[in-house]
């Protein structure tokens, strides 16, 4: 005969040595280092948001302009030079596009060359205030106060937004009257979008 002995381990009798081992901290998967966000450079005249209140500008009074009669003998030929400066705001450059610091001097050289003809007037498009100041600084570098301009930002009618300025040589032209309006069919004195335009257009 064989005697079978069975044993039953109660919970109190189980080996609990593992419970007293220090627990290893769980390692979280390594995250790639975050790229530092580059601060956005604030440029004079460049909007920093897309929520703009509507502004209204009153029409300035017309000045007294002396009457001038012209005949075929004293006609005045003029040259109008137009140049699209291109948006210089906070945007990614497209392939082949140069930064503003590399474009300003060739632009000024082009203005100088195309205004060698007497009685020339310059018109520009998509110019922010900081670009306008750079252009005027370079045009007047060697002969101060030779060039003047008039223009306003399309967003607030003052400094914010793109300009469409007119430039002239002060010895050849005199500014008698200036005004700023918006191209729309509702109220040209207010900064409203017109027709199928996405942005307010200024003149």
Residue 88, CB half-sphere, CA atoms under 13 Å: how many? 26
Q: Is residue 147 part of a domain?
A: yes
Give the sheet arrangement for strand 166-169, strand by strand.
79-84, 120-125, 166-169, 147-150
Q: What is the CATH number of the domain that holds 161?
A: 3.30.110
Q: Is residue 23 part of a domain?
A: no
Q: Please give the structure tokens belonging to residue 41.
A: 């450079």
Whether the predicted pLDDT of 64 surpasses 50: yes
CA dist 147 → 31, 65, 170 (Å): 57, 23, 6
Distance CA 123, CA 166 (A): 5
Question: How many domains does the chain contain in total?
Answer: 1
Whether the predicted pLDDT of 16 surpasses 60: no
The residue segments making up the domain with residue 136 are 78-88+97-169
User: What confidence category does residue 92 fall into, taking pLDDT thresholds of 50, 70 and 90?
Assistant: confident
Q: Is residue 138 part of a domain?
A: yes
Distance CA 141, CA 47 (A): 28
Q: Is residue 18 part of a domain?
A: no
Whether the predicted pLDDT of 30 surpasses 90: no
Q: Please give the structure tokens belonging to residue 149.
A: 């301009």
Whether the predicted pLDDT of 167 surpasses 80: yes
Distance CA 107, CA 104 (A): 5
Q: Is residue 139 part of a domain?
A: yes
Q: Is residue 37 part of a domain?
A: no
Could you give the residue ranges of the DSSP H alpha helices within the chain? 100-114, 129-139
Per residue in 128-165, pLDDT (tens digit) is: 999 999 999 999 999 999 999 999 999 999 999 999 99
Q: Is residue 118 part of a domain?
A: yes
Residue 5: per-residue pLDDT:
45
Q: Is residue 176 part of a domain?
A: no
Residue 32: per-residue pLDDT:
66
């Amino acid at each position: 005969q064989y005697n079978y002995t069975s044993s039953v381990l109660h919970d109190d009798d189980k080996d609990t040595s593992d419970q007293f081992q220090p627990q290893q901290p769980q390692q979280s998967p390594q995250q790639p280092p975050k790229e530092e966000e580059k601060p956005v450079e604030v440029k004079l005249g460049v909007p920093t948001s897309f929520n703009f209140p509507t502004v209204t500008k009153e029409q300035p009074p017309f000045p007294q302009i002396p009457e001038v009669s012209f005949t075929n003998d004293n006609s005045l030929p003029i040259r109008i030079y137009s140049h699209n400066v291109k948006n210089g705001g906070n945007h990614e450059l497209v392939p082949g596009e140069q930064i503003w610091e590399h474009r300003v001097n060739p632009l000024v050289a082009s203005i100088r060359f195309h205004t060698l003809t007497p009685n020339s007037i310059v018109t520009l498009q998509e110019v922010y205030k900081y670009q306008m100041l750079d252009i005027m600084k370079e045009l007047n570098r060697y002969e101060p106060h030779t060039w003047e301009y008039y223009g306003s930002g399309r967003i607030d009618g003052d400094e914010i937004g793109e300009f469409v300025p007119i430039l002239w040589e002060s010895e050849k032209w005199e500014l008698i009257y200036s005004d700023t309006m918006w191209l729309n069919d509702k109220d040209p004195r207010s900064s409203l979008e017109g027709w199928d335009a996405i942005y307010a257009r200024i003149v």
